[in-house]
Chain A
């Protein structure tokens, strides 16, 4: 931060984007250092790719075991606000004060209510590929990303609303009932349909199904038979004889509503009004209810009993239907009002026809279509002749024609204006007409009727219709009067449209629209008379049943709002949009045809034509559904969720957060090899990606950790790994860089696979260069070869051929140049880390530059900074890297992000205000037991009331209760009251796992005034009802046992008090190289004091001779600037020629004595809260390859110095040879020194650039230019550097030849014969050794490995920490690394140190070990046992265990031969009480 007045605006909060391990680590560091963290993750849970891994290298630790405590810590941290399913939309402002807009996608499950019981998943009918398991199995649409996921809440996967539901006028959850049919849950499916539509049977027969038009299946082959499927549901119900009557959940209300007209609109309005509790009376003019469904649709299409059943349901719900009542005559608006009706819905339909308006239309024998159908439907005698002509081309006309045929007409001709393809009737109806032997004549308009002598009609003359519609598409028929055609018949039925009968309507003052219907508001359906509403055909013209249903629903809603005085329009503008899924690879599945009555069998009867589906047909058809919406909105989860957490109406939410800095950790995408046919990945199940194989190996994966191949679940006997898939590959336009992790993870997978195999699993890894360059990686690689017998084959396999038995044939060239064919059961593709599309988008949003590989562009000297000030990066987004490197960088980013915010530290963080703790010391135990039902997770298996009553009988128990969800907020509040009211002083919760819930309950009892340690849990869910589901009795008994054990321990537990220790807010940094200087500056820049100790007489270390970083940045100016800043920084005191001679104290309060100046030493004591050890390393001093014996044989260091000094030997040289792995990767020093390959390649390039004609050779074992350093390797080859590989057993022979000419002889692996080179320069890639610091390390009690490098607390997740608290490391003392990695680690150490220094005091104690001085025999067993080196023999002559350092593992307690040590909260007495209780039946009080 540049100016003081600007500092007022600095926000003490940081945004971290990405919830993988890097994002988690960065967030935890910041939240522990006084900053409020806003953490954003796109998925529904944090954990990233690490959570998907099975084991981690090189320790073979379980990835989940390692990461899950971090997940819980991040998920529960008071100062981390977690935003899941969220993306960053926009950023404004500048460093110190950004405003970032976050867009949170709905998860449809409210996180504060979800208790993660999983009932939603159980009832969800939708299976989708489980992406966490790399699609190797399925999961439900209601899901938790993975069992251990944080936040521990479920989510629902939706892709908007399905097209079918969006298109259906009634918005029935079509995908939902189809999914339920698929699941055989027909009752639930029908109930779901009836939520939105009262007529599944009617519409199942007559619906014009606009949904099918949008069905995505239609884009693949044919649409689903959506209509037939709900008809099946209704038929199935009818067969069962039991009809579902929707429950009326609303309270009965006094208001009554009148509905005029019992057609679909009126009945639907009644159906929904009844559900709201209103009384409804339906008035119908005709003798029977149903409207057009009854009198307009012929019986062969809609049998009467089907309709009657569905109307009957509405009557059973409470509707009164009065038939034969004419509005305007028998009842009026006034009479309704006076009878107390609060509202009236006019849905009178279109029961009149329309006239042609041509001559003789009134002649006997000319009928109106609607009248004809009505009369036929009502069973009246309709007189028709043998030859019938129907005028009209709509659906009604077709019904008329087919009815006439069934009524005995011999010849029926249907004549219409439109061309065949223009006919308004639906295609399937036209086809049915043709099947029914109806003659269809197109493009004729009626001119006049012929009448016979008796004035009866005898025919009709038509004129040719030349065009029905004008150029604007409006109905405007044009005729050719000269081209006329007579048609003769004895009955002519006119069916060209419908009209409403307004008799008695106008008189009531009801408004009439221009086209002659009822007038009302299009949205609210309210007429100008406020309590009168209008809908259905009479309002909008002739439409389908489903439109009437939709309209009836809206009317019911309006009427409800009207009666309750609510706004009629608010929130009614919902748009139904949908997204279709990708159908690219969708296999074809033919539509299931519907069986129909044979056309001949239809004659002269009104038997139903369509048979509908039987159960099998319905299931076959339902299976075709493509699940467009993912979630089908079947709402089963809503009913199943007892916590009422499911909310399908959630909307995307925007939040603007203010932050001072931003850290981007969006990770990567596993490379997708499916585009390359030669890997056979896309279509062979036994070719897996490495990440898929991780899931195969994982105990929580699709095969529960059993090694098997996907095709036949057989255990493989031979597996091949192919390296560099999507990495180091420019030929296929893939990624040119090395992904950095694949060699190691493949090696790990071979070992773990062998562990999982009962057979002698044969594993072969096909690779180009084995890049095991990390700490302890080379040893691991050697063990793979030597101990596990893994075959490492140096060959790039180009083709994988599927062969019989689902096996795979690999063809490759071995090292001897022979072509080999080998069969494998399974192939694992070691896929690289590809850039993440979302990350690229994010970089664009953030204005962050990317490099040519689409990863963040950073500099080696500022490795976590981006081009935009205040925005930092870490993890794979910065470049391919493994977990420890990501974690290190995350801490580094955290330090960088905090650096300029220090003035705002602690301004936004939250602390809990707690009541004083009760003193329970003198009290008898009073135990309260809270038993959880966990919805039905516990209560559905174990008999919770019995368990509860049993708990009442246990000793010291004064209160018991059971709760639906003990972890819900309301229960927590209640618990606090109960504790206080009953003077409870020990609390036992019998529920889920202490791992996830103990902190929550401890917080609750602390808020109730109890010490948080007065708490014990019985795990009766995860370790009882979930694993003994099939045995409820035993589960009940075990629950009792577990509670008895918990209560027994509770009787002995005691309050534990943490004590506050002041922190000395300063740091001691040992080592004045780049790592030490960066660390000291990082500490000092945050305003803390730093003491920097360097034993030589100058700062700078190895960086003093290094020339350039691997990206070509000059190191010298950087180091000079660092030294200058260190020497002049107000908060740094640098001690040269100084060593630490004494140190002591505990976390937060160390004191060290520094001795300066050798023999005439002066000492000074400094106090510091933390220590950072950065004692560096040095180059290996070779005694091989003529080193020191020939002037032109140079080490790396000497070569750099020579180049800097423009040494004439370089200019004079015409040839140069590099020898790699000098002093590395051998028996004496097995590690790879990591930096030498890059250094040699870079130097070779420099030589080639200086003198292109120079012959430059690099002799090597594996070129390890990891990550983007691969670019240098490629460039060197392009420049003509010659690479010659040699075996460890046959290193180059170097002799001093004639005339002091160096002679290098090496066996070329391509030629297969030795070649001799006589270079002018021989450069040895000398390895790295740690500096000698045995005494210092012993002083600080920090461990080192066999090679002398410092050992971190945990190889994966604590790469900067020591096991002992308050002491950290950085630089070459830890392991060889390049300068950018050193800077990262130094910044990381600053971040870790800041978690201590940022607090004025820390709380120590709790679950720690304490020594009974009287019993201590000073045998030092504890001192030797402690993995953290905490116990020491104090000045009083007994062991002392510092509470600040104790990790509470209790190893010393178990080992102490004198039983002098006790581990608080896990005392012998407490642990034994549990086992004793298990075997002691309780005596009932």
Chain B
């Protein structure tokens, strides 16, 4: 793993809480690395193991579910 390695992260976020927190981070102009991409889900209960594995298969270095 090189020193410049930047993992690509996919985040599945519940629209009521974690996605809202993502927006709040924006309102507060907090900085975080741009290699996190958020996918909004209606509830973290909707997230299927399939979605996580498929993301990794496609090339994600990390996946997280937040809600």
Contact surface of A with B, Cβ cutoff 8 Å = 62, 64-65, 68-69, 147-148, 699-700, 704, 993-996, 1019, 1021-1024, 1026-1031, 1034-1035, 1037-1038, 1041-1042, 1045, 1407, 1425, 1427, 1448-1451, 1453-1455, 1463, 1466, 1468, 1471-1472, 1474-1476, 1478-1480
Contact = CB atoms under 8 A, between A and B. Distances in A.
Contact of A1027 (B26, B40, B43): B26
26 contacts: A62-B17, A65-B17, A699-B21, A699-B24, A704-B28, A993-B23, A995-B20, A1019-B38, A1022-B23, A1023-B22, A1023-B25, A1026-B25, A1026-B27, A1028-B31, A1038-B34, A1038-B37, A1045-B37, A1407-B42, A1449-B42, A1449-B45, A1449-B46, A1466-B41, A1475-B10, A1475-B60, A1479-B8, A1479-B59
Given A68-B20, A700-B28, A1471 B39 contact: yes
A848 B59 CA distance: 66
**What are the 6 A-B residue pairs with the smallest beta carbon separation, nearest first?**
A1450-B46, A1451-B45, A1022-B26, A147-B27, A1026-B26, A1449-B43
A1479 B16 contact: no
B34 A1028 contact: yes
B37 to A, nearest CB: 6
A996 B58 CA distance: 31
A1450 B42 contact: yes
A1185 B40 CA distance: 59
Given A68-B20, A69-B16, A1022 B27 contact: yes
Given A1450-B41, A1466-B46, A1471-B41, A700 B34 contact: no
Contacts of B42: 1407, 1448-1450, 1463, 1466
Given A65-B16, A1023-B23, A1472-B54, A1453 B34 contact: no
A1026 to B, nearest CB: 4
B3 interface: no
Interface residues of B, number: 38
Contacts of B48: 1453-1454, 1468
Contacts of B32: 1027
Contacts of B38: 1019, 1023
Of A704, A1024, A1476, A1479, the most chain B CB neighbours within 10 A belong to A1479
Contacts of B43: 1449-1451
Contacts of B25: 1022-1023, 1026-1027
B1 interface: no
Given A1027-B29, A1451-B43, 16 more contacts: A700-B28, A704-B28, A704-B30, A1021-B26, A1022-B25, A1027-B31, A1031-B34, A1034-B34, A1455-B45, A1463-B46, A1468-B51, A1471-B51, A1476-B58, A1478-B10, A1478-B58, A1479-B58
Contact of A995 (B10, B19, B58): B19
Of B16, B37, B59, the most chain A CB neighbours within 10 A belong to B37
Contacts of A994: 15, 40
A1041 B45 CA distance: 25
B34 A1026 contact: no
- For the residues of B in contact with A, the DSSP-based class is mixed
Contacts of B41: 1450, 1466, 1471
A1045 B46 CA distance: 19
B31 A1030 contact: yes
A1035 B26 CA distance: 13
Contacts of B10: 1475, 1478
Nearest to B43: A1449
Contacts of A699: 21, 24
Contact of A65 (B20, B51, B59): B20
A1472 B37 contact: no
Contacts of B45: 1425, 1427, 1449-1451, 1454-1455
Contacts of B40: 994
B20 A1475 contact: no
B63 to A, nearest CB: 9
A1436 to B, nearest CB: 26
B64 to A, nearest CB: 13
A1475 B51 contact: yes
A1454 B24 contact: no
A1041 B31 contact: no
Nearest to B28: A700
B39 A1045 contact: yes
A1451 B46 contact: yes
Contacts of A1474: 39
A1479 B29 CA distance: 27
Contacts of B15: 994-995
Contact of A1453 (B24, B29, B46): B46
Contacts of B47: 1454
A804 B21 CA distance: 39
Contacts of A1468: 48, 50-51
A1355 to B, nearest CB: 15
Of B23, B25, B31, B32, the most chain A CB neighbours within 10 A belong to B23
A1475 B28 contact: no
B55 interface: yes
A700 B25 CA distance: 9
A1394 to B, nearest CB: 26
Nearest to B50: A1468
Given A1450-B43, A1463-B42, A148 B24 contact: yes
Nearest to A1454: B48
Contacts of B54: 1472, 1475-1476
Contact of A147 (B28, B37, B50): B28
Nearest to A1463: B46
A1024 B40 CA distance: 14
Contacts of A1024: 34
A1448 B54 CA distance: 23
A862 to B, nearest CB: 37
A1475 B39 contact: yes
Contacts of A62: 17
Nearest to A1021: B26
Contacts of A1466: 41-42, 46
A1474 B59 CA distance: 13
B3 to A, nearest CB: 18
Of B8, B25, B46, the most chain A CB neighbours within 10 A belong to B46
Contacts of B8: 1478-1479
A704 B21 CA distance: 12
A1367 B25 CA distance: 37
Of B20, B24, B25, B34, the most chain A CB neighbours within 10 A belong to B34
Contacts of A1042: 37
A1480 B54 CA distance: 13
Of B30, B39, B41, the most chain A CB neighbours within 10 A belong to B39
Of B30, B32, B38, B43, the most chain A CB neighbours within 10 A belong to B43
Contacts of B24: 64, 147-148, 699-700
A472 B57 CA distance: 97
A1 B47 CA distance: 53
Contacts of A1031: 34
Contact of A1041 (B26, B37, B50, B55): B37
B23 to A, nearest CB: 4
Contacts of A1480: 58
B52 to A, nearest CB: 9
A1029 B29 contact: yes
A1475 B46 contact: no
Given A1029-B29, A1449-B46, A1475 B58 contact: yes
Contacts of A1026: 25-27, 29
A1427 B42 CA distance: 14
A1362 B35 CA distance: 41
A1270 to B, nearest CB: 37
A1023 B35 CA distance: 11
A933 B44 CA distance: 31
Nearest to A699: B24
Contacts of A1425: 45
Given A993-B23, A1027-B29, A1453-B48, A1479 B34 contact: no
